[in-house]
Homo-oligomer: A and B are copies of this chain.
Amino acid sequence: MASRDHGDPGDAPTIAPPLTAVANPARPSAAEEARTVAASTNTATLASLSADGDPWASLVTYGLLGGAPVLCVSQMAEHGRNLIRDARASVSIVAPNPPDDPLANTRITLAGKVRRPSPEELSAAREAHIVGVPAARYYIDYSDFSVWVLDVERVRWVGGYGRMDSASGTEYEAAAPDPVSPKAAGAVNHLNDDHGQALLAMAQRLGGYPDATEARCEGADRYGLDIRVSTPRGWSVTRVGYVEPIDSIEELRGATVQLARLAAPSS
């Protein structure tokens, strides 16, 4: 699913390919990744069309109705007038806590058309926005503000350098945010601090890097672990999928113990 668009750019550090098959490369789909990013924050940048058809980028806040961003913008602002005139819009959402290199960060674009909520869904849309943006209760009912739902037609997810994919609006709406990754930071630190040998064994025996000399966990989601490996040939990132997907952070310990047993040199 993931693709590397550019290859090795000149004098960049060498990325080592795996030497053996990755036992279980399972990972979230682009639609799932996008739902996770959308659920991770409440600010986005809206691209709308100005009167002359020029693209206009502006900060917006949002809540979520299913996966659909619910905006609340003023007609006194250019983006508010733009949406009234032309419903075509997209939002770019960047995952919080960016790394030092901003292009290594995860971000998505959700593109489609905005519409005013129907009378039946207005209450739910209004509530969804306020859940995402508590301060909105001060202005959401003010006469110049309007609530808009972005019906997502297509999705682009970029998970950092060389990890990117597209999804349809239907796939996006059907997917769910990852129940594990937003809560996994503590467990990931614990794995790195106390179970480095187990991670190295996973990288060597399950991750395709039998020559790995060091392995660090960079993230955990419902399907498995992202592992960064060092080898005499250079560095890389690989994937160690669990035996079965998990549905909550509480299941993470059991799933990683199972992986450690599978990868143990004595097994």
A-side residues, CB < 8 A to B, are 5-6, 9-12, 42-50, 53-59, 61, 74, 76-78, 88-92, 94, 98, 101-103, 105, 107, 109, 111, 133, 135, 138-139, 141-142, 144, 156, 158
Quick check: B48 and A55 within 8 Å, CB to CB? yes
Given A43-B102, A45-B92, A156-B78, answer yes or no on A138-B10 (Cβ-Cβ < 8 Å).
yes
- How many Å from the CB of A1 to the closest CB on chain B? 17
Count of chain copies? 2
- How many Å from the CB of A86 to the closest CB on chain B? 9
Given A74-B6, A107-B59, answer yes or no on A138-B11 (Cβ-Cβ < 8 Å).
yes
Instruction: From the candidates B10, B78, B94, name the one contacting A141 in the complex (CB within 8 A).
Output: B10
- How many Å from the CB of A199 to the closest CB on chain B? 26
- Contact partners of A88 in chain B: CB under 8 A: 53-55
- Select from chain B the residue with minimum beta-carbon distance to A100: B135
- Contact partners of A12 in chain B: CB under 8 A: 138-139
Instruction: From the candidates B5, B10, B92, B101, name the one contacting A59 in the complex (CB within 8 A).
Output: B92
Alpha-carbon gap, A77 to B166, bound state (A): 12
- Contact partners of A43 in chain B: CB under 8 A: 94, 98, 102
Quick check: B9 and A90 within 8 Å, CB to CB? no
For the complex with contacts A53-B88, A57-B109, 8 further pairs of A-B residues with Cβ separation under 8 Å are A6-B144, A9-B141, A43-B102, A44-B57, A47-B56, A59-B102, A59-B158, A61-B102
Alpha-carbon gap, A53 to B138, bound state (A): 35
- Contact partners of A94 in chain B: CB under 8 A: 43, 45, 59
- How many Å from the CB of A89 to the closest CB on chain B? 6
Quick check: A55 and B47 within 8 Å, CB to CB? yes
Quick check: A55 and B142 within 8 Å, CB to CB? no
- How many Å from the CB of A162 to the closest CB on chain B? 11
Quick check: A111 and B46 within 8 Å, CB to CB? no
- Contact partners of A48 in chain B: CB under 8 A: 47, 55
